[in-house]
Structure 1
Amino acid sequence: MAHKQRVAYLDYLRLVAILGVITIHVTTSLNFYRQDYASLNWQILNFWDGLSRFCAPVFIMISGAIFLNPDFDLSWEKLFKKYLRRIVVSYLIWQLIYCGWYYFAKGSDLVTVAKFLIGSYDHLWYLPMIAGLYLVTPLLRPLARRRRLLEYYLLLALVFAWLLPTGLDLIRLWP
């Protein structure tokens, strides 16, 4: 069996992003959203929360750096059986745990529990999002191998996902 070679900068980025996730969870668990925004306590929590919001995009970029690397062995079978299965199973288990918590511990009605089961519990948004990115990975890998095609794709993404929507929003807001 071949030894996996670690990429040091990705490990360091992962560590910093993990610290960011912990910071977000700590700051928002301290009744962040219920405090007076003019208070010093809110300002301090808001500073640390805002400083840490980089973490989810960093995790996404780490996944992209690994999965889109042409040297990374990623077959359809490995993608579905190893990576996507883990995400889907984890998501379903945590959804059931939270639904059980809301029903049994908090005494929520079945309609509320069903909304959580169909939707998603607050911070579980990341799992379906990353699963969706994993699903489009086979489409993106050929782009990543061809620099000009990748640059064209990124230009289109910039125009249609950011410049055009932002420009239209600014026009709508113009007095």
Structure 2
Amino acid sequence: MRAHDSNLDFVRVVACLAVVLLHVSARPIYMQGELSMWAWFLGDAVSSLTHWCVPVFVMLSAVLILGNAKTTYRHILTSRVPRMLAVLFISSVIYALWMKYFQQAFVWTAFLRAIVLGQPYYHLHFFYLIIGLYLIAPPLSQAVVNMQEKDLRNAVIATCTLTMVTFAWSTFSRTYTPNGGSFSWSYISYFLLGYYLYKFRPNLPYAMIAWLGYLVTVVGTFALAYGFGSAYTWKLYFFSYFSPTVFAMSIGVWGLSLQVAQKVRIPGLKRLAPLTLLVYILHPIFMELLRSQYAKVSPSLMRPLIEVPLTFVLTTLCAFATAWLLYRISFIRRLF
């Protein structure tokens, strides 16, 4: 059994903040025809900061699960999978009600189809991929514990390369058709990557890797969007979780976060970390609710230069405050 590592709390909170910023900063990206080229480029630069967030959450899960003596099918099927199914069910109900009564856009057939495809709401795909990874974790856990550093490193390189190549091919050949049952397979690469980086702590230039990944993401996305036009289907390829640049940023941010966490102690971090799952689930509600009220105050609040930082700060505060209140309920605390 692995002792609690407070450094991982820091990684968890940073990844959670990146998730919120990812969703908040998405709006300017879809306003290419309404913004000037340089305004859109600024939105691209902000959004490019965030797309490592879900991969890093997967890497965190690997650290907690792989190599753990409790990672057996008995424990997975009686504890972890039922818990995640319950969280997914509750979250899906919440967003079904949200779509029906706030957005007034709920259609049963579309909602049921979205459940099958793994997206009852756009961010809930995370639970599908985690449940899938749980189901293949026991044999993976036994395998990686007995692997030498060189063999595990080669396995990580092979799975990451295969994932990037197959995703690029399916993307540009327009044959990429993900669904709720297949989400998890591509994330095996991040699963193994997280465990390898945590266990063996390779001495890599994490800052340079993160910086290069970020720069290529910004420039590559801009080039696709303005080179092929705003209607180009895959202009956001470099934002994809399986692009080479996001792999690079995930590695870089992971290593940098652990280095910072070792040097900087943040008061209250241990209390914030357990709230991140609730924040992940709830934050779109606050984001959309805030945006719906801006026009009533002043239309200028919807200008991306104002709206993005304002919404990010308010959404983060509201989501963490609500999660803190809910976490005081014993049932919520046990489930989340």
The CA deviation at 1:166 is 7.2
Please name the residue that 1:112 is paired with: 110
CA contact (8 A) 1:14 1:62 kept: yes
Aligned to 1:100: 97
**Shift of residue 155, structure 1, vs aligned partner:** 5.2
Question: How far apart, in 1, do the equivalents of 2:162 and 2:59 lie?
Answer: 20
In structure 2, do the counterparts of structure 1 residues 140 and 97 end up closer, same or farther at CA, with 3 Å as the change threshold? same
Correspondence for 1:123:
123
Q: Of the candidates 160, 163, 166, which is equivalent to residue 161 of structure 1?
A: 163
Rounded to whole Å, the distance in 1 between the matches of 2:114 and 2:96 is 7
Q: Which SS does the other structure have where 2:67 is aligned?
A: coil
**Structure 2 letter corresponding to 1:92:** F
Please say if residues 28 and 43 of structure 2, whose CA atoms lie closer than 8 Å, have aligned partners that are also in contact.
no
AA in 2 matched with 1:127: F
Count of residue pairs brought into register by the alignment: 165
How far the C-alpha of 1:160 sits from its partner, in A, is 3.9
Partner of 1:21: 19
Determine the C-alpha separation between the residues in 1 that align with 2:76 and 2:47.
33
Alignment of 1:73-92 (within 5 A): 73-92=70-89
1:2-24 per-residue CA deviation (whole Å, 9 max, x = no partner) reads: 9x832133222112211211211
**Matched residue, 2:66:** 68
SS of match in other structure, 1:132: helix
Once the 2 structures are TM-superposed, how far is the Cα of residue 168 of structure 1 from its aligned partner?
6.3
Whichever residue aligns with residue 54 of structure 1, its letter is: W
Q: Which residue of 2 aligns with 1:56?
A: 54
- Residue deviations 1:45-66, cap 9 Å, x none? 3222211111111111111112
Question: Is the alpha carbon distance of 1:11 and 1:110 closer, same or farther for their aligned partners in structure 2, counting shifts above 3 Å?
Answer: closer
Which of residues 5, 8, 25 is equivalent to 1:7?
5
Q: Which has the higher contact order (CA 8 A, sep 6+)?
A: 2
- Is residue 88–residue 124 contact of structure 2 (8 Å, CA) maintained in 1? yes
Q: Distance in 2 between matches of 1:69 and 1:142?
A: 7
Gaps of 5+ in 1: none
Q: Which amino acid aligns with 2:14?
A: V
1:154 aligned partner, one-letter code: V
In 2, Cα distance between the equivalents of 1:75 and 1:166?
A: 30
CA contact (8 A) 2:28 2:40 kept: no
In structure 1, distance between residues paired with 2:168 and 2:114: 35
1-side partners of 2:168 and 2:31: how far apart? 34
TM-score, normalised relative to structure 1: 0.75
Output the amino acid matched with 1:55: C
Paired residue type of 2:126: Y
Q: Secondary structure at the match of 2:124?
A: helix
Stretch deviating more after TM superposition (152-161 or 84-93): 152-161
Q: For residues 158 and 96 of structure 1, what CA distance do their matches in structure 2 show?
A: 35
Between 103-112 and 122-131, report the one with greater CA deviation: 103-112
* Alignment RMSD (CA, Å): 3.0
Higher helix share: 1
Q: Is the 8 A contact 1:68 1:137 kept in 2?
A: yes
SS in structure 2 of the partner of residue 122 of structure 1? coil
- 1:67-115 per-residue CA deviation (whole Å, 9 max, x = no partner) reads 1124x43343332232211211111222223233334541544332332
Percent of residue pairs bearing the same amino acid type: 22
Secondary structure at the residue paired with 2:18? helix
Residue-by-residue CA offset, 1:98-144 (whole Å, 9 max, x unaligned): 23333454154433233234332211111100111111101201211
8 Å CA contact 1:67–1:137 kept in 2: the answer is yes
